[in-house]
C-alpha cells in the first residue's frame, strides 16, 4: 500500500539549492492547497510552493502516479490517497466516533446539516457531517452548506484560539458582517449567511474553560438559525463529556 511518505520519497535523495530535500518540496506542494481550492494549475502550485516550474512538474507527476494528487480539467487536485490517510489519523477518528451520536440527535432535532470542525494549522477541517448533504469525513467543501460552515466554524475557532488567524475559503460568498473574533468570543456563537437562503450558526466545543476542542455547527435553509443556539450548546457539552472519557484523547494537542 502506498503511503504519503513513499509518495514523496525522492529517487535520488537529492537536496535543492535552497537546502530543501525532495521530501520537503513534495510536502510543500501538498501544503499549498487551501480551504476552497478544488484544482490548482502548475503555475499556481509552483508560485505558492516557491519552486521552479520544471521541479514542480516533476514532483506533481510523481505525486499523481502514487494517487496523492489527481489530474483535473485545469490542473491538479488532492487525491484519494490523502483522503484515505487522513481518515485513519487516530485522534480525528476517535473524535468523530465520540461525536457522531450527538450529531445524529442534533440533526434529527433541527433538520439541518450538522458539523464537527477542528483546526489543522490555519485551516478549518470538518471531521464529521450529518445531514441531507452527505455524511462522513468532509475535508473538502462542496455544497453551499459546506461553504457556510467553513465560514461560521472558522469564526468560532478563530475567536477561541491563540496563534493567528484561521484561513478562510476564497470566493465563498458568505457575508463578512461584523463577526469579529472579539464579538464572537463575547457572544459565544457565530453566524454566517450566504445570501441565497443558507444560514449557519456555530458554538465552541470546550473540554475546559481554556481548552478548545472544535466547533459544532448547524446549517439550515431558514431565515434565522439562532433558535438552535441552546440545542447547539447542550450538544457541544455532550460532545465534550464523551471526549473526556476517552483516554487516547487526553494529553494530546
Residue 16 CA to residue 22 CA, distance in Å, equals 7
Residue 150 CA to residue 217 CA, distance in Å, equals 10
CA distances from 71 to 65, 77, 80, 197 (A): 10, 6, 12, 34
**Tens-digit pLDDT profile for residues 95-118:** 888 899 999 999 999 888 999 998
Sign of CA dihedral 119, 125, 128, 129: positive
The pTM for the full model equals: 0.65
Per the listing, cell 514532483 goes with 59
- Helix, strand, coil shares of the chain, percent, nearest 5, are 45, 20, 35
**Tens-digit pLDDT profile for residues 138-159:** 433 445 788 889 899 999 998 8
CB 67 within 8 A of CB 2: yes
Amino acid at each position: 500500500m502506498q503511503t504519503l511518505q513513499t509518495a514523496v520519497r525522492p529517487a535520488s535523495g537529492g537536496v535543492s539549492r535552497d537546502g530543501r530535500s525532495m521530501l520537503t518540496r513534495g510536502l510543500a506542494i501538498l501544503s499549498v492547497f487551501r480551504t476552497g481550492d478544488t484544482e490548482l494549475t502548475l503555475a499556481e502550485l509552483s508560485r505558492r510552493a516557491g519552486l521552479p516550474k520544471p521541479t514542480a512538474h516533476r514532483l506533481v507527476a510523481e505525486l499523481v502516479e502514487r494517487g496523492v494528487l489527481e489530474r483535473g480539467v485545469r490542473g491538479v487536485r488532492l487525491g484519494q490517497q490523502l483522503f484515505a490517510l487522513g481518515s485513519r489519523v487516530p485522534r480525528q477518528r476517535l473524535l468523530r466516533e465520540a461525536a457522531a451520536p450527538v450529531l445524529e440527535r442534533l440533526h434529527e432535532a433541527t433538520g439541518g446539516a450538522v458539523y464537527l470542525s477542528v483546526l489543522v494549522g490555519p485551516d478549518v477541517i470538518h471531521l464529521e457531517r450529518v445531514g441531507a448533504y452527505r455524511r462522513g469525513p468532509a475535508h473538502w467543501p462542496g455544497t453551499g452548506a459546506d461553504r457556510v460552515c467553513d465560514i461560521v466554524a472558522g469564526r468560532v475557532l478563530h475567536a477561541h484560539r491563540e496563534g493567528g488567524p484561521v484561513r478562510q475559503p476564497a470566493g465563498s460568498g458568505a457575508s463578512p458582517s461584523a463577526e469579529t473574533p472579539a464579538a464572537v468570543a463575547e457572544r459565544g456563537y457565530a453566524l454566517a449567511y450566504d445570501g441565497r437562503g443558507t444560514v449557519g450558526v456555530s458554538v465552541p466545543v470546550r473540554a475546559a474553560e481554556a481548552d478548545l476542542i472544535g466547533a459544532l455547527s448547524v446549517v439550515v435553509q431558514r431565515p434565522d438559525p439562532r433558535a438552535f443556539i441552546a440545542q447547539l450548546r447542550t450538544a457541544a457539552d455532550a460532545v465534550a463529556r464523551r471526549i473526556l472519557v476517552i483516554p487516547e484523547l487526553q494529553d494530546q494537542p
